[in-house]
Amino acid sequence: MIPYGRQDISEADIQSVVDVLRSDYLTQGPAVPAFEKALADYCGSQHAVAVNSATSALHIACLSLGVGAGDVVWTTPVTFVASANCALYCGARVDFVDIDPCTYNMSVECLAEKLSHAEKSGKLPKVVIPVHLCGQPCDMAAIHVLRQRYGFKVIEDASHAIGGKYRGEPIGNCSYSDITVFSFHPVKIITTAEGGMALTNDATLAKRMQLLRCHGITRDVNEMTHEPDGPWYYQQVDLGFNYRMTDLQGALGLSQMSRLDEFVANRHNIAKRYDRLLVDLPVVTPWQHKDSYSGLHLYVIRLKLAEISKTHRQVFEELRAAGLGVNLHYIPIYRQPYYQKFGFEAGTFPVSECYYNEAISLPMYPALAIELQDKVIGSLKRIM
């Protein structure tokens, strides 16, 4: 089976982990801060906070921005459930903004319209979470204009997008957002096995997230309620979580960073070849906005169902039967049973529905060999 995505681990990556295993620190050692600094420097942000998953990063990002009961957070329907669940963890409500038919990211036009209605009803969102689906950045400048007008905070869910650029600048510099979140799951662009990072230019937000990732515990005398009892002393000053990244993960991430640009360049080469070889098939290939340089975590095609004699499901199942680990990213969140109990119904967001009925993610990872890509193309041609 050719997977839709997979990690690329080198001998240098393995050695970096072995070095940590032989060191004095397996967790809370020097590797995690080094990884944080390397990523912050790469992206051009002031602060980076490493955690054990992007889900954890989204959670503490929401908490650091004050999301709580009575608040509402908006995101896109076409994303992994974590992009919405993070708000529910804080006791807030979630709503969605339909997607753009070309980029599949949050539609700025739909966002503007929804904000206008929300302002009139006094129900503006506390936070908006645009998701850089497949690695292509959202139109962050346009979202920033709306942010300034309506006063909401912005968390960029860039779980797919490390190594990408928006208007020539690295995704993660937080020029148009309060916080940017990356994922290092094995199928993502670089990996720490599991792991995530929250980047920000706000020192107060960074300090808050650092506290929340470690049980809400501080050893900083300036944050304590009274003088410490002794040099051993610490205080829990908030209800935090054990969201820390280990030094094993930090070392792997730091090693992977040395090949980040190479990984993304390889993905672009694979995508260009897909674009050429799929041109005569009844599919829509990914469209890239001129302002973006995608991380290309995913390569999603959409079936022109009116031009083929099979259903979406039939094509998907036959591709799987041919040994291709295709996938579908994603089922619109509001269609999940857990979210339907909040009153969301199928058909609420028509562009997202159309996307879901046609989308298939083809294999995409830096080490995808030409002969394997040819098998993908050959199978598509035969099936369709």
Residues 88 and 190 in one domain: yes
**340 and 265, same domain (yes or no):** yes
Tell me, what CATH number does 295's domain have? 3.90.1150.10
User: By the 8 A CB rule, do 88 and 63 touch?
Assistant: no
Q: Are residues 67 and 118 in the same domain?
A: yes
Query: Mean pLDDT throughout 32-54?
Result: 98
Stretch 77-89: mean pLDDT: 98
Domain identity same for 183 and 311: no
CA angle centred on 173, ends 291 and 40, rounded to 5°: 135
b/e string for 232-261 if b means 16 or more Cβ within 10 A? Answer: eeebeeeebbebbbbbbbbbbbbbbbebbe
Q: Give the mean model confidence (pLDDT) for residues 84-98.
A: 98
Q: How many domains does the chain have?
A: 2
Q: What pLDDT was estimated at residue 329?
A: 98
Give the residue-averaged pLDDT of 117-135. Answer: 97
Select from 257, 291, 307 the last residue of a domain: 257
Structure tokens at 215: 């049980």
223 three-class SS: helix
The domain boundary, picked from 257, 290, 323, lies at 257
User: Which residue range forms the structural domain that includes residue 147?
Assistant: 2-257
% of the chain beyond a pLDDT of 90: 98
Q: Are residues 205 and 302 in the same domain?
A: no
Tokens 């295993």 sit on residue: 21
Is residue 223 domain-shared with residue 281, that is, in the same domain?
A: no
Stretch 162-186: mean pLDDT, rounded? 98
Q: Residue 99 maps to which CATH number?
A: 3.40.640.10
Q: Are residues 79 and 159 in the same domain?
A: yes
Residues 288 and 249 in one domain: no
Residue-level pLDDT at 211: 98
Within this chain, do residues 162 and 122 fall inside the same structural domain, yes or no?
Answer: yes
Separation of first and last alpha carbons in the chain: 20
Whether residues 250 and 270 share a domain: the answer is no
Render pLDDT for 192-250 as a digit per residue (tens, 0 to 9): 999 999 999 999 999 999 999 999 999 999 999 999 999 999 999 999 999 999 999 99
| Whether 58 and 14 share a structural domain | yes
pLDDT value of residue 259: 98
Tell me what pLDDT residue 345 has.
80
Q: Would the pTM count as exceeding 0.75?
A: yes
Verify that 247 and 314 share a domain, yes or no: no
Which one of 234, 257, 280 terminates a domain? 257
* 310-355 pLDDT per residue, tens: 999 999 999 999 999 999 999 999 999 999 999 998 778 999 999 9
